[in-house]
Chains A and B, each alone.
Chain A
Amino acid sequence: MVTEAAVDTVIGLEIHVQLGTASKMFCGCAVAFAAPPNTLICPVCLGLPGALPVVNRRALALGLRTAVALGCRIAPESRFHRKNYYYPDLPKNYQISQYQYMDHPPLGVDGWLEFTVEGTPRAVRIRRVHLEEDTGKLLHVERGGAVTHSRIDYNRSGVPLMEVVTQPDLRSPAEAREFLIALRALLQYLEVSPVRMEEGMLRVDANLSLRRADGTLGTRTEVKNMNSLRAVERALAFEAARQAEVLGGGGRVVQETRHWDERRQVTFPSRTKEEAQDYRYFPEPDLVPMAVGEAEVARVRETLPELPAQKRARYVSLGLSASDADLIVRQPRLAAFFEEALAAYPQARVLANWVTGDVAGILNAEGKEIDDVALRPAVLVGLLRLIDVGVISGRIAKDLLPELTLQGGDPAALVAARGLEQISDAADLEQLIELILAANPEPVAEFRRGKEKALVFLVGQVMKETRGRANPELVNRLLRERLRG
């Protein structure tokens, strides 16, 4: 309930992306999800006395690729810094990160990302892109409802993270969600990260405040612990409503960090003391500055894959509707499927209709993604070709698609085995048509009185009797000839 006092929601995001590297940010330990605790550790990621970090070049390359794709200015010499704070999941009690400070810029600054919200193009400015290391994980052991002790798993300690920070350019929770979908797609196209949300590869913190009618910005709160896109949208919607209610009631929003409670669907203030943290950032003396020359930036730019905006434009130029193009572009795996099918079946618009219509419908109903099902591009193309050459009707194709999608198979063989070939021989249909006409005198009379719609009913009856196998155009033609004749 946004009151008159507040006219606008202002949202900025801080996104942590786990980079898709085989090894950790500063040591050679493998990165793997759900490995037995403390099996992927070494003196470096355990912060043992005497151990030293060494930058993972692959992580640096992936960070650079992202910063370039986001149109950032690339720092010719960027440094790592130490962010000092005490926490048991942080083995050195400092995190190696990149701090924006005077002559030490982070990897990339001042970029932007374009995306669409319900067909309307939007752009959000990117404040910075930088690299850092992840922390370990605390596991609190409870007995009788009380925490008795905590265990620490350092497998995640030192996993490469990229932080992307936006300017407060987002204007609604839905827009925030769309932005994240676009960012996720970009990262997948760039092959910077597989962005498996369920493995925590994309973590979002948000700042949200309300702008009053007089243009002044209200106090912001920081919302954490949103573990899915849906959680981001709901948490921000809750928080916007909560702030509006506070303001509407004449209260003041307190600057604080709030956590999203997925179970209760509310944000609540975090229990930790809200004293201003002084991280005592300073340049990491164990690492030398990273020089990124203009030539390297140019090389990275040249080797970027087709970016979402370019892909969208190309699809539209091939005849796709803007909304179909969007729907495909925002799902890189679906786009890869579409591209592969397109190479074999160049009727882009027809193909897109099937992909965004029936295929997407089946995936949505099953809660699956294209890579999770058996349908391969060649199978869909095979099915569409059977329609084109008149072997089956579109109706039959639609009927077969769920089975082909979920279980796979050869469309032609399936059609043959089930006897689903289209009946395109007039002789095979004439007798049936006579029977239908005899059984439906009223529609016949209506059509003869000029009511075109009655014909649709008669065609439908023929299709029904042939279980969809009759060629509908042929039935149409035969019916007309018979009734006029």
Chain B
Amino acid sequence: MTPALLPVSELLGQLRRRTLTPSDLLEAYLQRIERFDGSVRAYLHVAAEAARAEARRWDDRYARGDDLPPLAGLPIAVKDLICTRGVATTCGSRILEGWRPPYDATVIARLRQAGAILLGKTNLDEFAMGSSTENSGFGPTRNPWDQARVPGGSSGGSAAAVAAGLAPWALGTDTGGSIRQPASLCGIVGLKPTYGRVSRYGLVAYGSSLDQIGPLTRTVRDAALLLQVLAGWDPLDSTAASLPVPDYQAALEGGVRGMRIGLAREGMGEGLQPGVRAAVEQAAARLRELGADLVEVTLPTIAYALPTYYLVATAEASSNLARYDGVRHGLRVEVPDVVEMFSRTRAAGFGPEVKRRIMLGTYALSAGFYEAFYLKAQRARTLVHRDFDAAFAQVDLVLLPTSPTVAFRLGERVDDPLQMYLADIFTIPVNLAGLPGISVPCGFADGLPVGLQLIGRPFDEATVLRAAHAYEQATEWHRRTPPLEGAAA
């Protein structure tokens, strides 16, 4: 079996035992990318040559028996919304085509410090605005389980890359579900850390008060391993928390016996596909068998989460995306007048969903509308917070489906933004409340993966990981791999 489909925890063991070299491992991914990514299109850019050079350096150091950093020689795919020094960072947008950041995001610097190798930059919905990766300015990514379907989004490239064995793991970003939803639709693990747990420095902003970087991995153990490297205070991000980072590997052990898990009633209502409902209910039952105490909780205001999100996130985005004006970087439409240059550049460079959200957000912040929209949304956000606070007074975790449906067909929702927005109905409340949430594979419906979402208290990723790990260890879902060979043949 190819090492490309093994979890990182096993790959690290093989590297350390020197039954596998970093170069051989890298080549396994590069070969699969060569073979499958022409159709999956998870990557926008594969950094093959730089990665090969780095891998060779790690080969030597392993051979010499050096003391090595924790992720020495291990490749990683990175969502193309995260700045990588000297390596093109497009954010899935034509407006940034050709831009090479002069600096590394904090998470990239930490990964390099830990010995990881940048394998490539993955596709996404333009500026992370979308739930299917169809809003990419460079064409959609396909779901490895059924290439007629979307991988979810916005971190669809990262999720598809991991699911298809085109990367051992990947970084995604999550503003309204952009890690968890594609993880769910691609049958892998996706963790959104607490807002402030991971530095946002170098993450190109969409909704600054919601954005978080997190891992997309094959197993929960891998998510813990990657979070360990990513997490922690950063002097370059004022919103990064200066809290101690626990040992997440150690936190995996102990199981769910005696843990109180709240089944949110609102998660099991209308709009849920029957196959998804069945899988999530069975997962809840499995957790009960494992010794968890399942209780029903209610989150009444999450019905308002979607409109709240589309005011807060778009308001912030309208300001965050103002800097793409043709003056300093990326696309410029050359015209003599500067104001004309701004509008023509932005008209040419941004796709329709980005324009829609910029207009929505501009409107929400405009004089006369600020109180009715932006301020009201902030108050609604407080209510969502309180709902979770009340739930966490009773339980240790809240359980929800990750996505109300399995992967939908390419093109199915592109003309219906509201239908598209519903894909994130269960993930968005978690961003509004700034909480940690994980999606783990919990079954299949119509042959497509279903994800279970577990949500924890602020900065309590440890409990989230422990429960997800216990569930994963008791099931086999995460061992299934997509039927890629058949599709490619």
Residues of chain A at the chain B interface (Cβ within 8 Å) = 43, 46-55, 82, 84, 86, 88, 91-94, 150, 152, 278, 280-282, 285-288
Contact = CB atoms under 8 A, between A and B. Distances in A.
A49 B83 contact: yes
The 8 closest A-B pairs by CB, nearest first: A93-B322, A280-B365, A285-B208, A285-B209, A49-B204, A50-B202, A50-B83, A50-B204
B238 A48 contact: no
A50 B101 contact: yes
Contacts of B105: 50
Nearest to A138: B338
Contacts of A281: 365
B370 interface: yes
- Grouping DSSP codes into helix (H, G, I), strand (E, B) and loop, the A interface class, with mixed when no group exceeds half, is loop
B102 A48 contact: yes
Contacts of B366: 278, 280
17 contacts: A43-B102, A47-B323, A48-B83, A50-B83, A50-B101, A50-B202, A50-B204, A51-B103, A52-B236, A94-B319, A280-B318, A280-B319, A281-B365, A285-B209, A285-B239, A286-B205, A288-B238
Nearest to B338: A88
B338 A286 contact: no
Given A49-B99, A91-B328, 11 more contacts: A49-B323, A50-B105, A51-B202, A52-B201, A84-B322, A92-B322, A93-B325, A280-B367, A282-B319, A285-B208, A287-B238
B329 A48 contact: yes
A46 B237 contact: no
Contacts of A43: 101-103
A54 B319 contact: no
A8 B102 CA distance: 57
B254 interface: no
Nearest to A154: B328
A88 B332 CA distance: 13
A278 B318 CA distance: 14
Nearest to B196: A288
Contacts of B327: 88, 91, 152
B52 to A, nearest CB: 27
Contacts of A54: 235-238
Between A93, A152, A280, A286, the greatest number of chain B beta carbons within 10 A of the residue's beta carbon is seen for A280
Nearest to A89: B327
Interface string B343-382: 0000000000000000000100111001000100000000
A278 B369 CA distance: 11
A50 B201 contact: yes
Contact of B328 (A47, A52, A287): A47
A150 B362 CA distance: 28
- Grouping DSSP codes into helix (H, G, I), strand (E, B) and loop, the B interface class, with mixed when no group exceeds half, is loop
A48 B208 CA distance: 15
A278 B367 contact: yes
Interface residues of B, number: 43
Contact of A82 (B238, B239, B319, B328): B319
Contacts, number: 100
A91 B362 CA distance: 19
Interface in B168-215: 200-205, 208-209
Contacts of A94: 319, 322
B365 A49 contact: no
B315 interface: yes
Interface string B225-245: 000000000011111000000
Contact of B325 (A84, A86, A286): A86
A73 B315 CA distance: 31
Contacts of B99: 49
B96 interface: yes
A84 B370 CA distance: 14
Nearest to B361: A280
Given A282-B315, A282-B365, A50 B322 contact: no
B237 A52 contact: yes
Contact of A46 (B238, B318, B328, B338): B328
B226 to A, nearest CB: 20
A49 B319 contact: no
B101 A48 contact: yes
Interface string B87-112: 00101000010010111010000000
A84 B208 CA distance: 15
Contacts of A91: 323, 327-328
B82 interface: yes
A158 to B, nearest CB: 14
B393 interface: no
A286 B83 contact: no
Between B203, B205, B238, the greatest number of chain A beta carbons within 10 A of the residue's beta carbon is seen for B238
Contacts of B370: 280, 282
Interface in B103-131: 103, 105
Nearest to B341: A88
B339 interface: yes
A50 B235 contact: no
A49 B238 contact: no
A46 B202 CA distance: 13
A47 B101 CA distance: 12
B316 interface: yes
Nearest to B201: A52
A468 B223 CA distance: 94
Contacts of A286: 205, 208, 238-239
Nearest to B315: A282
Nearest to B81: A50
Nearest to A80: B238
Contacts of B202: 50-51
B101 A288 contact: no
B342 interface: yes
Contacts of B325: 86, 88, 93
A91 B370 CA distance: 24
B238 A52 contact: yes
A140 B206 CA distance: 33
Nearest to B362: A280
A152 B316 CA distance: 26
A86 B362 CA distance: 13
A275 to B, nearest CB: 12
Nearest to B375: A102
A50 B203 contact: yes
B242 to A, nearest CB: 11
